[in-house]
Structure 1
Amino acid sequence: MNATMRRVAIATAVVSMAASLAACGSAKEADDKGEKKKKSGPLNIGLLLPEDQTARYENFDRPLIKKKILADCADCEIHYVNAKSDPAVQQQQVDSMITKKVDVIILDSVDSKSISGSVKKAAEAHIPVVAYDRLAEGPVSAYTSFDNETVGKVQGKALLEALGKKAKDGKVVMLNGWEADPNAAMFKKGALSVLKGKVDIAKSYDIDRWLAEEANKAMTGAISSVGKSNIIGVYSANDSMAGGAITALKSGGVKPLPPVTGQDAELAGVQRVVSGEQYMSVYKSYVEEATAAAKMAIALGRGEKVDGTSTVDSPTTKDIPATLIPPVSLTKDKIKSTVVKDGLYTVSQICTAKLKAACDKAGLK
């Protein structure tokens, strides 16, 4: 190799190494590059939620975040959009927020990977992004969610508790969340850390877009494959899918219904827990999550730093300030002390005429 070629090779190697080292930055570096001037007065805040199939986003997250923002910044303006499970639509929505020159974006991503380019565009426009509920890739400035691996552990422990000494007497079916949602992998990991070796997992499905009808199809297939008399438990990652699975179990003639897990404390899920059709849900304090998101967004919108209770790493960004909220196993005996006490639902909303006897038995009066 002559001297000229050697110099070219060395230069190429140096550039390649630099690019490699730059590929995974930190939240602090992202903030430093996109540093905003201090701002007082009203803020324009973009709120981007991922879908409307799961009841929580429209019923809880949206109104709670709005309420918490306006409590601390009465003249702030909130620009709300819902991507309805379409990653391409959400990318366009981020572009629209950049065009509007919002001060900060709260983003619950449809697809955490595909949205990374949009997050980068926002950072380049000096618009910080708070990753809400799902950890988006790209240079996000802050993150709030629940301890998602613990959610899976809570579900797995509840299922084992429901099965008791019969845990090895039959087959368990797993209905996991959508692969594009990074939380789904954490729920599954947490659940498997509890269930593996203690139950026989006959079938495991990753359910497209968390859809109840897809969970219903998967459960119907599992009944046909495993046999209705062999299914002793169902791990469902959320309440919507649990509803689809329970419908399939009933249609398939599975009696008695096996214990089914859930998550999100949807009203229909809570009612199934009361009636005994669903063994448990997971209660997550949306009030705490919304409060954390609102405080982070206002601080970042004003050009201030945020401090989380911890830090997390995404595949692209290190040391993201994070506030992670612990989940609660929601069984029949905890409904009054969680969702009713915290004002998510009233007893009258939960206890329809059909559920009166079950509610009386559960002490819901």
Structure 2
Amino acid sequence: MRRFRILFPAVAALAVAGLALSGCAATEEADPSAGSSDSYNVYALLPQGTDQPYGTTYLPAMQAKADELGIDLTITNSQYDADTQASDCKVAVAAAPDLIILWPAVGDTVRPCLEAAKAAGIPVTATNSDVNPEDKDLIQGYSGPDTYGQGAASAEMMCDAADGAPTNILVIDGLTGNSTAINRHEGFADYIAENCTNITILASQPGNWNKDDSQIATSEMLTSVGADNVQGIYAADDTMVAGAIDALKARGIDPSSLIITSIGNTFLGNPLVISGDLYGTVFQSSSWDGENAVVLAYNVLTGETVEDNLFMPSVKVTEDNASDAAVAPEW
């Protein structure tokens, strides 16, 4: 069983105060050498950019911290295509940068990239989506969301809302093979199995981080298991949960009559919590993510001691705190 961190609404304001600011407390602890005059060349192999909502706040925070720390970033965008990212990696290794930051497009395809970087003596750090456990020894560290813990936090909200009553649910997973999707599913399923025997997962399908795909998947599962047999839905992010909610509404089902939980607390998900359509979600700060990808890389480059994982806080968001400034959505 993996360990995970869950921060409760009562401490949410303390945990995330200042996350949207470039000088958040978590960064200050991990960044004791800010202001160095040294310069470093770093390749950031990403699967998205400003073509997706998350990237619109992740990338500026990443670039701002790089500028502050004297890091010259070269950023690629594979658009979640494993072959494209593999080609980007070959270019990066050939360029012999001081370090590579990797956000895996597909977790089980990045080992050749990691091995090539190791053979060339180029350290690698992971951001946002960690590498698979068997590849962990090929990176210097990971920064980003505790994706397993996020799944567990969403499950805990589901359990709290069910309050011991028999509850049949559907699960909408992310992109097949993506490490974030795998970890969020495992975190959710493990917590349910260990703590909420009253909750039964009737069916699960990938929603591919896409609203339309998730609406279709939800509709198919409702047909397969019988809509009257479903009392809850877990979706691995807010985009997909919005699709699931649309599928319910298309069938004339009031989403607030079900227990629905998700992850993200995005501009799409937060209003759904406030309206009551979504019971709860888990706050993820894209600016924290982009900034700390660079902080971790810098600390590796400068010889600082780093932990295997630099996790952002996983704060549960329900109607009790959804309007609080401390958890205001960023993407």
* Partners of 2:41 and 2:97 within 8 A in 1: yes
CA RMSD of aligned residues (A): 2.5
- Aligned partners of 2:269, 2:56: CA distance in 1, in Å? 14
String of CA shifts for 1:30-61, please: whole Å, max 9, x gaps: xxxxxxxxx97322221222246995531222
Matched, 1:112 2:111: no
Which letter maps to 1:192?
A
1:46 aligned counterpart, secondary structure: strand
String of CA shifts for 1:154-178, please: whole Å, max 9, x gaps: 101111222335x31x521111223
C-alpha deviation, 1:132, in angstroms? 0.7
C-alpha deviation, 1:187, in angstroms? 1.7
List gaps (5 residues or longer) in structure 2: 1-35
- Aligned partners of 1:147, 1:231: CA distance in 2, in Å? 29
Greater relative CO (CA pairs within 8 A, separation 6+): 2
- Aligned partners of 1:247, 1:202: CA distance in 2, in Å? 20
C-alpha deviation, 1:91, in angstroms? 0.7
- Aligned partners of 1:84, 1:282: CA distance in 2, in Å? 24
Q: What is aligned with 2:223? A: 224
Q: What is aligned with 1:36? A: none
Q: What is aligned with 1:185? A: 182
1:334 aligned counterpart, secondary structure: coil
Matched, 1:134 2:139: no
1:235 aligned counterpart, secondary structure: strand
- Aligned partners of 2:65, 2:243: CA distance in 1, in Å? 33
List gaps (5 residues or longer) in structure 1: 1-38, 310-320, 346-365
Q: What is aligned with 1:206? A: 206
Q: 1:251 to 1:52 in 2, by over 3 A?
A: farther
String of CA shifts for 1:169-221, please: whole Å, max 9, x gaps: x52111122331223222222212332322122112234x3222222121001
Q: What is aligned with 1:79? A: 74
- Aligned partners of 2:46, 2:255: CA distance in 1, in Å? 38
Alignment length, in residue pairs? Answer: 287
Runs of 4+ in 1 over 4 A off after TM superposition: 52-56
Listed as ranges, the matches of 1:205-284 within 5 Å are 205-207=205-207, 209-257=208-256, 258-284=258-284
* Partners of 2:66 and 2:72 within 8 A in 1: no
C-alpha deviation, 1:255, in angstroms? 2.8
- Aligned partners of 1:256, 1:175: CA distance in 2, in Å? 15
- Aligned partners of 2:264, 2:270: CA distance in 1, in Å? 9
Listed as ranges, the matches of 1:56-95 within 5 Å are 56-73=53-70, 76-95=71-90
Which letter maps to 1:308?
V
* Partners of 1:147 and 1:325 within 8 A in 2: yes
2:176 aligned counterpart, secondary structure: coil
Structure-2-length-normalised TM-score: 0.78
| Aligned residue among 303, 320, 331 for 1:333 | 320
Q: 1:173 to 1:54 in 2, by over 3 A?
A: farther
2:107 aligned counterpart, secondary structure: coil
Q: What is aligned with 1:35? A: none
Q: 1:307 to 1:287 in 2, by over 3 A?
A: farther
C-alpha deviation, 1:123, in angstroms? 2.1
String of CA shifts for 1:264-306, please: whole Å, max 9, x gaps: 22211112212222222211344444343212212334xx334
2:263 aligned counterpart, secondary structure: coil
Q: 1:174 to 1:256 in 2, by over 3 A?
A: closer
C-alpha deviation, 1:237, in angstroms? 0.9
- Aligned partners of 1:83, 1:272: CA distance in 2, in Å? 31
* Partners of 1:176 and 1:236 within 8 A in 2: yes
1:229 aligned counterpart, secondary structure: helix
Q: 1:308 to 1:288 in 2, by over 3 A?
A: farther
* Partners of 1:296 and 1:306 within 8 A in 2: no
* Partners of 2:286 and 2:330 within 8 A in 1: no
Identity %: 23
C-alpha deviation, 1:331, in angstroms? 1.5
* Partners of 2:144 and 2:289 within 8 A in 1: yes
Q: 1:52 to 1:72 in 2, by over 3 A?
A: closer
